[in-house]
Copies of this chain bind each other. A is one copy, B any other.
């Protein structure tokens, strides 16, 4: 039984690999909701949908987000009216947001709606939002910003995560991140139990600062993971100092961390006993050990479903290695 703490694209690919090597009925994904956003009155849950669409084989393979065979008629009309068009919502994708918004309006919880959506895609794994309560990731702009000529923002302005990530293509430096609402949120039903009862808890290769951190910010979640530390394996989203996708590397630097597997180790060492890192980072193995984590070297770039499955298998195997010794020799898999 495996529980995966998940963000969007990286986590979705990891989960797809995991589903190839573990009975999907034994997998629970606990997914970030900090980048959920209300657009045009619709509740959009980007990470939940990326996970669902990817696992259903319905994700657009080129974009990496949204649905394949998508059309953009609704957005073309929004554009005609001069509405918000920086967050592109495909017509098929809109159907998901229409359904979610309708059900939430009826009083269903986000966890209930998510379960319904996942079931509609014939997926057997369990997908849980980290919380049913609204959590909003917000970032503070380090510099003045004039993406819109009409309303330049002064340095120090705090903006919604999607305004950073999508509207500004995460191309502007940030000086702080916080998760509004998190401190008063509750874990969704099943979240703590899934962490407590799992054989292995995996922290997926997602952005530690804006994908994993908002999950950990839900009261009780971090503590539950810390309590399982021996059976927690984190997969580094940083390979040779670089994030394969997204701004994790720049964000780490901007927010005072090191953009390396060592920086990741320092963020996760209290949570996970084991850190999966790419062979490219073999030189950091001793450093990771020094931070108190057991490094496991793998091929961690999930360029194909097979690579993702291989990474997933290595990850869950790493969690069940024998009692750690003090030897600083990393485990090496599938070189």
- List the B side residues contacting A147 at CB < 8 Å: none
Given A40-B42, A41-B101, A71-B91, A96 contacting B76 (CB threshold 8 A): no
Which listed residue (B39, B81, B93, B101) contacts A40, Cβ 8 A? B101
Residues B41 and A120 in contact, CB atoms below 8 Å apart: no
Residues B95 and A77 in contact, CB atoms below 8 Å apart: yes
Residues A40 and B71 in contact, CB atoms below 8 Å apart: no
Contact with B along A20-44 (1 / 0, CB 8 A): 0000000000000000001111110
Contact with B along A49-73 (1 / 0, CB 8 A): 0000000000000000000001101
Least CB separation from A75: chain B residue: B95
Residues B117 and A95 in contact, CB atoms below 8 Å apart: no
Residues B105 and A80 in contact, CB atoms below 8 Å apart: no
- List the B side residues contacting A75 at CB < 8 Å: 95
Given A41-B43, A82-B120, A77 contacting B94 (CB threshold 8 A): yes
**Segment 85-115 of A: residues with Cβ below 8 Å from B:** 90-96, 98-99, 101-105
- List the B side residues contacting A154 at CB < 8 Å: none
Residues B84 and A102 in contact, CB atoms below 8 Å apart: yes
- List the B side residues contacting A80 at CB < 8 Å: 95, 120
Residues B76 and A116 in contact, CB atoms below 8 Å apart: no
Residues A40 and B98 in contact, CB atoms below 8 Å apart: yes
Residues A41 and B77 in contact, CB atoms below 8 Å apart: no
Most buried by B among A77, A78, A84, A93: A77
Least CB separation from A93: chain B residue: B77
- List the B side residues contacting A189 at CB < 8 Å: none
Q: Give the number of copies in the complex.
A: 2
Complex alpha-carbon distance, A96 and B99, angstroms: 18
A155 within 8 A of B: no
Residues B98 and A41 in contact, CB atoms below 8 Å apart: yes
A301 within 8 A of B: no
Residues A98 and B78 in contact, CB atoms below 8 Å apart: yes
Least CB separation from A89: chain B residue: B98
- List the B side residues contacting A81 at CB < 8 Å: 95-96, 99, 116-117, 120
A74 within 8 A of B: yes
Distance in Å: Cβ of A119 to nearest Cβ of chain B: 9
Most buried by B among A38, A75, A93, A95: A95
A83 within 8 A of B: yes
Complex alpha-carbon distance, A103 and B39, angstroms: 11
27 A-B pairs within 8 Å (CB atoms) are namely: A40-B42, A40-B98, A40-B99, A41-B42, A41-B43, A41-B98, A41-B102, A41-B104, A42-B98, A42-B101, A73-B90, A73-B91, A73-B92, A74-B92, A74-B94, A75-B95, A76-B92, A76-B95, A77-B93, A77-B94, A80-B95, A81-B117, A82-B116, A83-B102, A83-B103, A91-B91, A91-B94
Contact surface of A with B, Cβ cutoff 8 Å: 38-43, 70-71, 73-78, 80-84, 90-96, 98-99, 101-105, 116-117, 120
Given contacts A77-B96, A94-B94, 7 further A-B contacts (CB under 8 A): A40-B98, A41-B98, A75-B95, A77-B93, A81-B117, A83-B95, A91-B94
